[in-house]
A and B are shown apart, each in its own frame.
Chain A
Amino acid sequence: MSDKMNRQIILITGSSRGIGRQLAEHYAGQGHMVFGCSRGRPDFVHDRYCHITADVADESSVLALFSEISRSARHLDLLVNNAGLAMSRYALLTGESEAERVIRANFLGAFLVMREAIKLMKRRGFGRIVNFSSVNVPLGSAGSAIYSASKASLEHLGYTLSREIASDNITINTIGLSLVAGSGMGEALNAEALRDKQRSLLKPALLDISEIVHVIDFFASVKTSNITNQILYFGGVR
């Protein structure tokens, strides 16, 4: 790691499995105080990890989450907005309730968490927010209409919200993920769909979690106070 963060208070949403779990384990192992949340329980413990059961798509649950963080840690340095739902389904075969569930988790939930995180970050006049989007947004991959739209909405939310808080030392940046090893993304696609996806990328290799950490650390650094409203895509996509 070329730019180690000083020990920070970090919230990672969707931390019970996949990318969120890997990130939570990594940052707790680095000595940061990590709060994680998900609707279920994680299957790991660490003395620098505190899990809070929460549904990011439920406002009262998000308020309770931040009450707990505020009570325990008093401030927040970094939010990794990871929680979300994946959906690979052609739009014409997607029902309203499924579409709403994805939009609530990926957009509304991310918004609620960002809103409360910013309030907490304003206390110390410092904060870093890293949202996760997807290469499916610029690629417009067939079968990802609702998912991509939810992520595109999140990208634009960051675009505007970063303006509303520009005078604060709080930045909002987004990482557009491609396929991540061990996240369930590749496993959710059949072999043909996986090959098609990889063919659309300049850099098709599955991402290792260390690559994502590298970018998070860059955006989260105290040295990047002038970098906000940026989207960095993996996979060679623009």
Chain B
Amino acid sequence: MLRRDGVVEVIFWAIEDLNQQLPEKDRLEKSLETVLFGKAGKLDSLGFVNLIVAVEQRIQEETGQAIALADERAMSQKESPFRTVDTLANYIMSILDDASAG
């Protein structure tokens, strides 16, 4: 089972991977406060999709478990779980916890 610091590392890895395709001014910082989605976010919509897909794939590689981050549960929340690295990590942990409990 992946711990929270491992999940954060996965997100940072995905950010690093994405940054290699971006001009320097558009690159994201690897910090918990980095905004991923919404106002003040640097990513365009396709960049966001690529980031989420990369995170899903890496989580699957690390845990053997397929997860779908952008599902109805995520989209229906008042506060987007994708807002920052920190909120995304929390969201992923809730999915993994639910999966291991189920």
Contacts and interface: CB of A to CB of B under 8 A. Distances in A.
Interface in B9-66: 21, 46, 49-50, 53-54, 56-57, 60-61, 64-66
A199 interface: no
Contacts of B93: none
Given A70-B60, A119-B56, A119-B57, A164 B66 contact: no
5 contacts: A63-B66, A67-B64, A122-B53, A123-B57, A164-B49
Interface of B: 21, 46, 49-50, 53-54, 56-57, 60-61, 64-66, 68
A223 interface: no
Interface in A71-95: 71
A130 to B, nearest CB: 21
Contacts of A164: 46, 49
Interface of A: 63-64, 66-67, 70-71, 118-120, 122-123, 164, 167
Nearest to A70: B60
The 10 A-B pairs at the shortest CB distance, nearest first, are namely A63-B66, A67-B66, A119-B53, A119-B57, A122-B53, A123-B57, A70-B60, A119-B56, A164-B46, A66-B66
Contacts of B50: 122
Contacts of B53: 118-119, 122
Contacts of A64: 66
Nearest to B61: A70
Nearest to A65: B66
A67 B53 CA distance: 14
A70 B60 CA distance: 9
In this complex, the member of B57, B65, B66 whose beta carbon has the largest number of chain A beta carbons within 10 angstroms is B66
A229 B54 CA distance: 24
Nearest to A59: B68
A66 B57 CA distance: 11
Nearest to B50: A122
Contacts of A67: 60, 64-66
A63 B68 contact: yes
Nearest to B45: A164
A122 B54 contact: yes
Contacts of A123: 57
A110 B8 CA distance: 33
A71 B60 CA distance: 9
Contacts of A120: 57
A120 B66 CA distance: 12
A220 B54 CA distance: 24
